Amino acid sequence: MRIVSIVGARPQFIKAAAISRKLRQRHEEFLVHTGQHYDYDMSGTFFEGLELPQPNVNLGVGSGTHAAQTGKMLEGIEDVLLAERPDCLLIYGDTNTTLAGALAASKLSIPVVHVEAGLRSFNRSMPEEINRVVADHLSDLLLCPSETAVNNLALEGVTQNVHLVGDVMLDALNWTRERGAGAEAALLDRFGLKKKQYLVATLHRSENTDDPIRFGGILECLNSLDEPIVFPVHPRARKLILETKFQPMPDLHLIEPLGYLEMVALIGSARLVLTDSGGLQKEAYWLGVPCLTMRNETEWVETVQAGWNVLVGPDPARIAGTVKSFSPPGEHPTLYGDGTAAEKCVDLIGLNSEPMALAVRA
């Protein structure tokens, strides 16, 4: 099969690396980068670190309002699809890149395969939630990381070509851990930290970064915690930190975004993770690190049910109190599959080429 894959934002490079490695053993892949993320440390470093092949095309879309960014992507992706005429299009996750890919391909009657289908926060004020709903309803093959995701789709009447495969991010994490020797010691040394005696923080969701009072409250809270914190700062948060002239205490290390290998090493040795990222909630879980999620809901409800993740919202007092008191249980059930999700996805893409094509012709 000839398959076009669309990536554009940081978590998609991680997911695509896991799939691409398996996909290219059996099929021909044409990789499109929309350019949604363009800084080297948000993009290039992931291609290198995860050995993801360089994109065949980079649309260079860059930043913009949601409509402007998505509109430019739509035009660029349509051109690629008209030229390449693939058997299907592969989209990942829930970003504007995902949405644009789903829209462009479905209007050309090109079957859409969605990796990480069915996730819901049930909060439509999140741009990612809009992207998920639209992408899922336009997809012809839906590959889900959890039983919850399969059920979410069923509740919306989507039951055809829906499969539980597990999470391809676990495949990527395992691949990286096998290659990460030495990264941990170098990081601890760089910041003068001791294993399990520091916290990792990340913050980039628009709900947290677009409201200066909410964002400022979280930053002041981190500043007041009595433990070293390493905070790799996403560009969206960096802008606001610069604007507010926030002064971090010496133990709060605000650093540039890290590559994936270093990030995995940093999380693995932390005492606790504080985040609003979806990926980090799962990575913390798989690495056996307790997690506080600075949101009011999560798509990864199983980590909360297992007792290793707690939703603390943006409230500084609640965050500070839970950082001190949170203690996960002894049990740590296996979540989101066994690290072979990419292989399952590629099997299903091969098997479903006929039904997908038939669905489109009908």
Give the active site residues: 204
- Distance CA(26)–CA(1), nearest Å, equals 8
Residue 257 CB, shortest distance to ligand UD1, in Å, is 9
Residue 160 CB, shortest distance to ligand UD1, in Å, is 26
List binders of ligand UD1 among 221-240 (CB under 6 A): 234-236
Residue 167 contacts ligand UD1 per CB under 6 A: no
User: What are φ and ψ of residue 33, in 5° steps?
Assistant: -105, 120
Contact region with ligand UD1 (CB under 6 A), list: 53-61, 88-96, 109-117, 223-231: 88-96
List binders of ligand UD1 among 4-43 (CB under 6 A): 9-11, 36-39, 42
Token couple for 149: 């995701």
- Angle subtended by helix axes 212-224 and 235-244, to nearest 10: 90
Query: Residues 90-109 vs ligand UD1: string with x where CB under 6 A?
Result: ----xxx-------------
Going by C-alpha positions, the residue among 2, 6, 26 that lies closest to residue 345 is 26
Token couple for 209: 């970064």
Q: Which is nearer to ligand UD1, 95 or 303 (CB)?
A: 95
Q: Which is nearer to ligand UD1, 11 or 328 (CB)?
A: 11
- Distance CA(125)–CA(110), nearest Å, equals 29
Q: Which is nearer to ligand UD1, 63 or 305 (CB)?
A: 63
Residue 210 CB, shortest distance to ligand UD1, in Å, is 10
Q: Which is nearer to ligand UD1, 180 or 235 (CB)?
A: 235
Q: Which is nearer to ligand UD1, 38 or 326 (CB)?
A: 38
Query: Residues 192-221 vs ligand UD1: string with x where CB under 6 A?
Result: ------------x-----------------
**CA-derived radius of gyration, the chain:** 20
- Distance CA(218)–CA(216), nearest Å, equals 5
Alpha-helical runs (H) found in the chain: 10-26, 44-49, 66-84, 96-107, 127-138, 147-155, 168-177, 183-191, 206-209, 212-224, 235-244, 260-268, 278-286, 301-305, 316-325, 341-351, 353-361
List binders of ligand UD1 among 118-147 (CB under 6 A): 127-128
